[in-house]
A and B are shown apart, each in its own frame.
Chain A
Amino acid sequence: MSFIIRQLKKYLFFEEPEKRERFILRPGARPADEEGSGSFEKAKEKKKAESEKAPEPGDEVKSDIDANLTHMKDVYSIPVNSDIVLREFDITYGCRTVRAFIIFFDGMTNTEVINNYILKPLMVDSVMPLKDTAENLEGYVMRQLMPHCQVNISRGYKKAVEAVNFGGCALFVDGLSVCFTADVKGWDHRGVEKPNNEIIIKGPQEAFNEVLRTNCAQIRKRLKDEDLIVEDILVGRVSRTPCSILYIKDVANEALVQEIRRRLEGISVDYMLDAGELEQLIEDSTVYPSPQVISTERPDYTAELLVSGRVAIIVDGSPNVLVVPITAFDLMHSPEDNYIRFPYVNLLRYIRYIAGFLALLLPGLYVAITNYHHEMIPTDLLLAIEASREKVPFPSLVEILLMEISFELIREAGLRVPGPIGPTLGIIGALILGQAAVAANIVSPVLIIIVALTGIGSFAIPNYSLAYSVRIMRFGFIFLGALAGFLGITVGLFMIGSWSTALKSFGVPFMSPFGPKTSGRYKNVIFRAPEWKMEERPDYLNPKKKRKQAEYSMKWKHGKRKGEQD
């Protein structure tokens, strides 16, 4: 009841709009709230302070090994938890024996590394005479007994637990109020394989996998730039999922990077398991049908987008990387656009736009024309259509809805069907969307062509997520076409257009560079200029460096040959 009253009040009485921080990407590198010092410097200081931060009260590692043992057993529910390994042993330090234990997850760690480079030196090599007798136990363990490349000292349990949860091991030594954590990840994972969804003919054939650092390395090996920054952040109160923000320090707008940090730090969920979840938690509008983030499985495409001044977010465990900010036109670009000659790209882009148009509007237009605008159809064609529809008992709206829903059913079933029975689905699909449906007088042959063209159109849209949104909106346009013909469809386009122009993706207007108008509209938006003409980064990204290649990028054409006279 109170809900109803609240809703009624909302419509009847004016309420002061809630003050919301609205991020707009401005030119210049510094975020608005940090005048005088760059956000990058701030981030550096923050990370440094975090690493030097003393543990919270109650979280400190104790010098008593038994206390530490009890605490870790309690944290990991030992012995109920069966995949956790807790190994107790002794270290020889000078002339005395010191108790120690190591804790790690079986299956997540590389036991060979633990045995050879952590346990063996501690248990066996410690018996050998000390090289530096003046060193204390902490320094001795750290510098001489752990010949492993990634060892950290932690003063709090929380960090040790985080490390163990993410495939590390923690070593506790009696008498030391610190613990040592080593990165010994060793879980099984996929290798670097070919992309499954963003397939191209020319260009690199590697895709991201589920391992965070492999994905970072895939980008780094392409860019080979020390200014490529990989900033780590943990998302999820419980899962503490490691994510990395990637950007080129001297290209990306600092305000943009700061905004991404702010959004990631502002996520308060227990578990965050995939980039798809993160995308929904950071996008500007959750109800707008189209995606406002590019989700790609291609490292080469991500590298290309980073070079333009965008920022990538990698989520551990996800083979898709998110790239922001984007505009509506970016969603119609394919990674292959960079690798093939510009006349071919332009042809492909026209085809994609035609495909998008067909996928979105063709069924709606069919309904509109057959119901309201017969005069548009040339007489011969009109007679042919009417003759084919003569025996169909349904109005065109019902007819098209039947076919579109059937098509969506087949598409959805095609994704879920187990491999061995896949061909069966093809046969059933051909029956529904084919001659059998026509012979049964359920639909007209023209409609089969309409639905087929629509389906092919939606498959030609390069962004998978955009194809989904087109599928949803298509139904809206079918109803609008049925309600008011071209008027309804135009009103629908106007509404979507208004919504799109009001929208922003991480501070960048979604319809840039046409609404608002910015420079470089004819370089790589709808059309693509030749490679030598792609001199500047997109203006709407407000990058630190506008230019990405020299004015004469093909200097060999303009320079003189060796020994050539004027």
Chain B
Amino acid sequence: MQMDKRIRFGRWEAIMLITNLICTKVFLYFNRMTAEDTGNAGWMMAAFTSAMALLFYFLVMSLYGKFEGMDILDIAEAGGGKVLRTITGFVLGGALFVLAAITMRKFSEDIKTISLPTSPLSYVMGFFMAGVIIAGLLGVESIVRHNAIVTPIATAGYIVILLGIMPNIDVTNLLPILGTGLKDILMKGFYRTSVFAELLVLFMLPPFLENPGDARKVGYVAITASSFFFVTGSLVYTLVFPYPTSMEPFLPVFNMARLIGLGRFFQRIESLFVFIWVMSALVYLSTVFYFGVYTVSKAAGLKYARPMMIPFAIILFSAAFLPVDLLSVIKIESEIINTWGWAVTFAFIGLVMIAAGAGKRAGRGTKGR
């Protein structure tokens, strides 16, 4: 164990952080989305999407070699000066805020539907906000360590659900095996690499890692682990719910948990799932929010991110109310975030690295902080 005055954490913590960020959407909508896109072949699309994400990540990381140990803002500054750093910071910070706002709204709407139907949405969201603010004020060390504890527990809970649902499996649900067709699997699967959008937090992590060279491995392991959950989740979901039912626009994993019955006494244990789900959501929101504020602060050249937490939390709270209703949230999520997220995570970051590499060769830019 290595400890120093500088805040840093190990590979395991980083893997758990990124895996939780990517996989939280399994609880929310991922399985339903794959069923909508490709019918019974959702699990194939999940596998293809994961493979594409690995390929894109490989391509981006092949540009990263020259900037080992630097985060994306330092890379931008090193190659393109303060202007590129500021642009990059605001784009990434903005993307993280959109993710945080939409996810918070979605989680709050779902919790309201499941547990607190008579409470106002702002009341439910207030609880999430309280958690996010506290975690943000306590800092990255706390967030990352909390991730390292919560993610394995959430994973275990998820696996219990998958195992508990086994008696309800019907193998014929997999047929027709290619679902809505190979074209959908490939085309929609390509766009759905956006589900790995949270990988952009990884590009802010290297300075915090004990061994900055671990960033590359962290990404590969996190993508592979997430792929496992995406594929198994989609597969089990398809096996349990026939195609028409699987497109019901409501929490897929929650619906699966509802089917679990252990004898006459334990018939409705899905509420227990709320614990795993809310905990996972809080860890997700606090991480995305913290890195959003951190990215914007660093891009703006501010020395401290902490004083920005409460003002940005208020902005986040307000932004989460911008979509008119749950259907608007689902639409934004499906048509914007999960369709074009790859453009920020892979294309934009790749372009910044190319620009930084070119700038560095031309002698432009300044030394990253």
A interface residue numbers (CB < 8 A to B): 14, 17, 22, 24-27, 32, 372-373, 375-376, 378, 484-491, 493-495, 497-499, 501-502, 507, 509, 511, 514-519, 539-540, 542
List B127-166 residues whose CB lies under 8 Å from chain A.
Answer: 127-128, 130-131, 134-135, 138-139, 141-143, 145-150
List B1-21 residues whose CB lies under 8 Å from chain A.
Answer: 1-5, 9-10, 12-13
- Please, how many angstroms separate the alpha-carbon atoms of A517 and B11 in the complex? 10
Closest Cβ of chain B: how far from A12's Cβ, in Å?
Answer: 11
Contacts of A507 in B (CB 8 A): 3
B146 touches A487 (CB 8 A): no
Interface size class of B (residues with CB under 8 A): 35 or more
Closest Cβ of chain A: how far from B214's Cβ, in Å?
Answer: 13
B278 touches A486 (CB 8 A): yes
- Please, how many angstroms separate the alpha-carbon atoms of A372 and B283 in the complex? 24
A517 touches B12 (CB 8 A): yes
- Please, how many angstroms separate the alpha-carbon atoms of A238 and B309 in the complex? 45
Query: Assuming the A-B contacts A22-B5, A27-B3, A485-B115, are A498 and B275 also in contact, with contact meaning beta carbons closer than 8 angstroms in the complex?
Result: no
Q: Is B168 an interface residue (CB 8 A)?
A: no
Contacts of A32 in B (CB 8 A): 5
- Please, how many angstroms separate the alpha-carbon atoms of A281 and B5 in the complex? 23
Contacts of A514 in B (CB 8 A): 148-149
B279 touches A378 (CB 8 A): no
The contact of B145 among A372, A485, A488, A515, by CB within 8 Å, is A515
Contacts of B282 in A (CB 8 A): 490-491, 494
Of B138, B264, B272, B304, most A-chain CB atoms within 10 Å: B138
Chain B residue nearest in CB terms to A25:
B3
Chain A residue nearest in CB terms to B286:
A498
A491 touches B304 (CB 8 A): no
Query: Assuming the A-B contacts A372-B116, A516-B1, are A498 and B142 also in contact, with contact meaning beta carbons closer than 8 angstroms in the complex?
Result: yes
Q: Is B322 an interface residue (CB 8 A)?
A: no
B138 touches A499 (CB 8 A): yes
B134 touches A509 (CB 8 A): no
Contacts of A378 in B (CB 8 A): 264-268
B146 touches A501 (CB 8 A): yes
- Please, how many angstroms separate the alpha-carbon atoms of A553 and B141 in the complex? 38
A493 touches B271 (CB 8 A): no
B268 touches A487 (CB 8 A): no
B interface residue numbers (CB < 8 A to A): 1-5, 9-10, 12-13, 111, 115-116, 119, 123-124, 127-128, 130-131, 134-135, 138-139, 141-143, 145-150, 264-269, 271-272, 274-275, 278-279, 282-283, 286, 304, 306-307
A493 touches B304 (CB 8 A): no
Contacts of B119 in A (CB 8 A): 484
Of A27, A32, A501, A540, most B-chain CB atoms within 10 Å: A501
Of A485, A489, A507, A516, most B-chain CB atoms within 10 Å: A516
Please name 24 pairs of A and B residues whose Cβ atoms are closer than 8 Å in the assembled complex, sorted by A.
A14-B304, A17-B304, A17-B306, A24-B4, A25-B3, A373-B271, A378-B264, A378-B267, A484-B119, A486-B275, A490-B278, A491-B128, A493-B279, A494-B131, A494-B279, A494-B282, A498-B138, A498-B143, A499-B134, A501-B142, A514-B148, A515-B146, A515-B149, A539-B1
Closest Cβ of chain B: how far from A270's Cβ, in Å?
Answer: 34
- Please, how many angstroms separate the alpha-carbon atoms of A373 and B10 in the complex? 39
- Please, how many angstroms separate the alpha-carbon atoms of A305 and B15 in the complex? 33
Contacts of A499 in B (CB 8 A): 134, 138, 142
B127 touches A26 (CB 8 A): no
Contacts of B123 in A (CB 8 A): 484
Closest Cβ of chain B: how far from A523's Cβ, in Å?
Answer: 15
A501 touches B149 (CB 8 A): yes
Query: Assuming the A-B contacts A27-B3, A494-B282, A497-B150, are A487 and B127 also in contact, with contact meaning beta carbons closer than 8 angstroms in the complex?
Result: yes
Contacts of B131 in A (CB 8 A): 491, 494-495, 498
- Please, how many angstroms separate the alpha-carbon atoms of A99 and B78 in the complex? 84
The contact of A487 among B2, B13, B116, B139, by CB within 8 Å, is B116
A26 touches B124 (CB 8 A): no
Contacts of A502 in B (CB 8 A): 138-139, 141-142, 145
B268 touches A376 (CB 8 A): yes
A516 touches B13 (CB 8 A): yes
Contacts of A486 in B (CB 8 A): 115, 271, 274-275, 278
The contact of B269 among A376, A485, A519, by CB within 8 Å, is A376
A517 touches B148 (CB 8 A): yes
Contacts of A17 in B (CB 8 A): 304, 306
Closest Cβ of chain A: how far from B299's Cβ, in Å?
Answer: 18
Closest Cβ of chain A: how far from B125's Cβ, in Å?
Answer: 11
Q: Which 5 A-B pairs have the closest CB atoms?
A: A515-B145, A502-B142, A501-B145, A490-B278, A502-B138
